[in-house]
């Protein structure tokens, strides 16, 4: 306690330095958050559009974000492919063609999702991969 009191007796210049630091820290934190959002390739607006499309295209009849139902949970899918740079293309193709063999769900493989275009499938899968 005594030590804190002696070191915190500010001279004028130390005081203004502390003021700058207090002001700069949250600013720097905000910049880092913005950077990491950019690095994840999906802006929040893009992710939101992907989620809306998943709802509209009935993916959520079989998938939930955090719970395996008929299909595996989207969060589990995102974890499985987190280091796979080709996942969006490959999974989007599989969504359109349908198929099984990876998750071996009791209800069987995923039927072909012909209601989505290639671009829509990629948009939805890109969102799916953010849900981990
Ligand atoms: C009728 C149920 C059903 C519907 C509708 C459905 N899925 Fe699936 N999905 C599954 C099942 C079952 C699996 C597990 C397939 C496997 O074991 O390889 C799966 C797996 C997946 C996977 C992971 C594939 C892999 O190889 O790891 C993705 C991604 C996916 N679905 C996305 C979608 C999207 C996007 C839609 C909507 C366009 C959709 N699904 C609609 C049942 C469904």
Whether 59 is in the pocket of ligand 1, judged by its Cβ within 6 Å, is yes
User: Using CA positions, which residue lies closest to atom 29 of ligand 1?
Assistant: 91
Q: Strand, helix or coil at 68?
A: strand
Q: Look up tokens 């004028």; give the residue.
A: 12
Identify the band that residue 36 occupies on the pLDDT scale cut at 50, 70 and 90: very low
Probe target for ligand 1 pocket from 63, 89, 106, with the most ligand atoms within 8 Å of CB: 63
Helix, strand or coil, per DSSP, at residue 44: helix
Segment 6-16, tens digit of pLDDT: 454 555 555 55
124 lines ligand 1 (CB under 6 A): yes
Domain boundaries, the chain: 2-38, 42-128
Q: Diameter of the chain by CA atoms? A: 73
Is residue 124 within 8 Å of residue 54, measured between CB atoms?
yes
Q: Measured between alpha carbons, how far is 5 from 2 in angstroms, rounded to an integer?
A: 5
In CATH, the number for domain 42-128 is: 1.10.760.10
Q: Which of 5-14, 46-55, 114-123 has the lowest mean pLDDT?
A: 5-14
- Has residue 49 got a pLDDT over 90? yes
pTM, full prediction: 0.77
The answer for 116, left when phi > 0, alpha when psi is -120 to 50, beta otherwise, is beta
């Amino acid at each position: 306690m005594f030590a804190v009191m002696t070191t915190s007796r500010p001279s004028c210049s130390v005081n203004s330095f502390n003021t700058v630091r207090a002001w700069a820290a949250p600013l720097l934190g905000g910049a880092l958050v913005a950077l990491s959002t950019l690095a994840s390739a999906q802006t929040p607006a893009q992710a939101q559009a992907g989620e809306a499309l998943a709802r509209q295209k009935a993916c959520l009849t079989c998938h939930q974000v955090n719970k395996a139902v008929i299909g595996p949970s989207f969060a589990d899918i995102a974890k499985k492919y987190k280091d796979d740079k080709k996942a969006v293309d490959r999974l989007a193709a599989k969504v359109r063609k349908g198929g099984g063999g990876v998750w071996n769900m009791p209800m069987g493989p995923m039927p072909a999702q012909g209601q989505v275009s290639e671009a829509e499938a990629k948009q939805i899968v890109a969102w799916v991969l953010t849900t981990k």
